[in-house]
Chains A and B, each alone.
Chain A
């Protein structure tokens, strides 16, 4: 059996009385890119947040490399797993370097403040994300894509095997979305980091993910390789939308074309269920 980076057992999550996720057993493989997909409000972000211990489970438990997170000190968790929340906001005037340096917080103690190793890891993070030249700029003065790189650099400075990202491409234009996903893909390829993220774009999810988790009705609807699990039936159930699945002409991964409405410039519209 493949090694698991993260495992949940009978995990139930709720906001107050309303249950969001019910008794979920989820396994996230090590060294792979896993993407959560699902409709709005299906609980995929909530699931990611609870794995990152930002939200306490109602019942059930979460295991990080085999150890229950509830039994670990939060700083030790932070040395193994980094989380980039959805659209984080840096305080006004914070520079990129200051931001990235905060990623070393879990390693700092009263006795051991700032070391050469910290310095090196911060520089590597800036390099990996290609923002070395921007390090003295204020984060709030950067463009959306640059800003997201700076935040990713902070999570890299945390030097963890696992990185969780909640919709890292939201509010970015298409070019910047690809730029960010390519960066994460390379981090996985070159450094073998486990990446878990929530994405809204199903086609990009299919292209970049090794493992897709579709969430519907408080539980896992399907999990596996995109080419194995993504089909029109799944999309219809999970997103409540009719579509046709074809193959990405560049990568061969599944590609979803919504039926819906729109201008048709074909001589005769091809029926979805032809």
Chain B
């Protein structure tokens, strides 16, 4: 733990918030269309309708806000899942929640030609719920109940199943593929502010919910038996966790497609900085998650300029080495 006292943790939290704001500004300014800090300022003060001003207000601003909100949400979902399952590799992408939401949205858009944002959001929640319930049911089946290894296997299986469904479905329908491919890779580009606004209320409920249950997460992290002995209603808490995860992960997928690795990597980074108290860990992970997705998104614009890499690919490039590191560390510890 880097920040040991509460005072340093508060300073850390303020610093992370400022970093997030700075990166949002960076996201507004850097990219293929040359813009400057002054142009960005002007665009919001007195928009003259120039190309640059238009790019800033209609493309870059939504993109920055979406990256921040999605990164924030996915990282918190990761924290909750890792504590719930006592598994350092748990996250919405590894456990198939993203894949489930993704599949549901693909079906919704292509088969039922859904255009309504609310409808797509709810379809994403539905897909995320089915995947989450499926993983949990498979992970708890059998005599010894829920074990981390069974849960991980169930998650991997569920993720593979839903990705295969999605692929199989898209193979038979090329027009649909065109429509959803970029979205499926995970991207915050080319999305309108309305998409964010339609999902934002659910995300906010998720964020607040995560903060409300944070002291109880600390109790749960000591093990189910200890938590029950201390008078925690673990069943109820698990339902709350599931709802929050589904809102955050499903909502994020509805906006940006399945973005991987943030949910798994960020909780570990945040724990190294503020420790394991969820009252600090949850907000801190959220802020860092937003920062990482913004950084990944800014870099994604420069790698093969003027083309862009989907940000999901960027987070994978950043996250994979880290994933391997955690996996090795986790298995050595056992």
Residues of A within 8 A of B (CB): 15, 49, 52-54, 73-79, 82-85, 88-94, 98-99, 102-103, 105-106, 108, 154, 158
Give Cα distance in the complex from A60 to B119, angstroms: 49
Q: How far apart are B269's CB and chain A's nearest CB, in angstroms? A: 14
Q: How far apart are A196's CB and chain B's nearest CB, in angstroms? A: 13
B275 touches A93 (CB 8 A): yes
Flag whether B87 is at the interface (Cβ < 8 A): no
Q: How far apart are B84's CB and chain A's nearest CB, in angstroms? A: 12
Q: How far apart are A212's CB and chain B's nearest CB, in angstroms? A: 24
- 10 nearest A-B pairs in the assembled complex, by CB-CB distance: A78-B231, A75-B231, A85-B225, A83-B229, A106-B231, A105-B230, A91-B221, A74-B231, A93-B276, A54-B225
> Beyond the given A79-B231, A85-B225, A102-B230, could you list 5 further A-B residue pairs with CB under 8 A, ordered by the A residue number?
A74-B228, A83-B226, A93-B276, A102-B218, A105-B230
Q: How far apart are B320's CB and chain A's nearest CB, in angstroms? A: 23
Q: How far apart are A190's CB and chain B's nearest CB, in angstroms? A: 23
Give Cα distance in the complex from A106 to B231, angstroms: 6
Flag whether B219 is at the interface (Cβ < 8 A): yes
Residues of B within 8 A of A (CB): 1, 143, 215, 218-219, 221-223, 225-226, 228-233, 271, 275-277
Give Cα distance in the complex from A93 to B276, angstroms: 7
A92 touches B276 (CB 8 A): yes
B221 touches A88 (CB 8 A): no
Given A75-B231, A77-B231, A93-B271: A99 and B276 within 8 A (CB)?
A: no
Give Cα distance in the complex from A158 to B222, angstroms: 15
Give Cα distance in the complex from A54 to B230, angstroms: 11
B229 touches A52 (CB 8 A): yes
Give Cα distance in the complex from A91 to B218, angstroms: 9
Give Cα distance in the complex from A110 to B262, angstroms: 32
Give Cα distance in the complex from A98 to B218, angstroms: 10
- Among residues of A, the one whose C-beta sits closest to the C-beta of B229 is A83
Give Cα distance in the complex from A254 to B52, angstroms: 91
The contact sample of 12 A-B pairs, CB cut-off 8 A, is A52-B229, A54-B225, A73-B231, A74-B228, A75-B231, A83-B229, A85-B226, A88-B223, A91-B222, A92-B276, A102-B219, A105-B230
Interface centre among B222, B225, B271, B276 (most CB of A within 10 A): B222
B226 touches A88 (CB 8 A): yes
Q: How far apart are B138's CB and chain A's nearest CB, in angstroms? A: 18
User: Hey, which chain B residues are within 8 Å of A91, CB to CB?
Assistant: 221-222, 276
B229 touches A85 (CB 8 A): yes
B222 touches A102 (CB 8 A): yes
B277 touches A98 (CB 8 A): yes
User: Hey, which chain A residues are within 8 Å of B277, CB to CB?
Assistant: 98
- Among residues of A, the one whose C-beta sits closest to the C-beta of B230 is A105
- Among residues of B, the one whose C-beta sits closest to the C-beta of A91 is B221
Give Cα distance in the complex from A79 to B219, angstroms: 16
User: Hey, which chain B residues are within 8 Å of A78, CB to CB?
Assistant: 229-231
User: Hey, which chain B residues are within 8 Å of A83, CB to CB?
Assistant: 225-226, 229
A106 touches B276 (CB 8 A): no
User: Hey, which chain A residues are within 8 Å of B271, CB to CB?
Assistant: 93
User: Hey, which chain A residues are within 8 Å of B221, CB to CB?
Assistant: 91, 94
Q: How far apart are B279's CB and chain A's nearest CB, in angstroms? A: 11
- Among residues of A, the one whose C-beta sits closest to the C-beta of B232 is A105
Q: How far apart are B92's CB and chain A's nearest CB, in angstroms? A: 21
Given A93-B1, A93-B271, A93-B275: A105 and B225 within 8 A (CB)?
A: no
Give Cα distance in the complex from A92 to B275, angstroms: 10
User: Hey, which chain A residues are within 8 Å of B226, CB to CB?
Assistant: 83-85, 88, 102, 154
Q: How far apart are A130's CB and chain B's nearest CB, in angstroms? A: 21
User: Hey, which chain B residues are within 8 Å of A88, CB to CB?
Assistant: 222-223, 225-226
Give Cα distance in the complex from A217 to B38, angstroms: 83
Q: How far apart are B82's CB and chain A's nearest CB, in angstroms? A: 10
User: Hey, which chain A residues are within 8 Å of B218, CB to CB?
Assistant: 102
User: Hey, which chain B residues are within 8 Å of A77, CB to CB?
Assistant: 231
Given A98-B277, A102-B218: A89 and B223 within 8 A (CB)?
A: yes
Give Cα distance in the complex from A108 to B231, angstroms: 11
Interface centre among B229, B231, B277 (most CB of A within 10 A): B229
Give Cα distance in the complex from A105 to B222, angstroms: 12
User: Hey, which chain B residues are within 8 Å of A98, CB to CB?
Assistant: 277
Q: How far apart are B328's CB and chain A's nearest CB, in angstroms? A: 15
A106 touches B230 (CB 8 A): yes
Give Cα distance in the complex from A79 to B231, angstroms: 8
User: Hey, which chain A residues are within 8 Å of B143, CB to CB?
Assistant: 15
Pick the contact of B231 from A84, A105, A154 — CB < 8 Å? Answer: A105
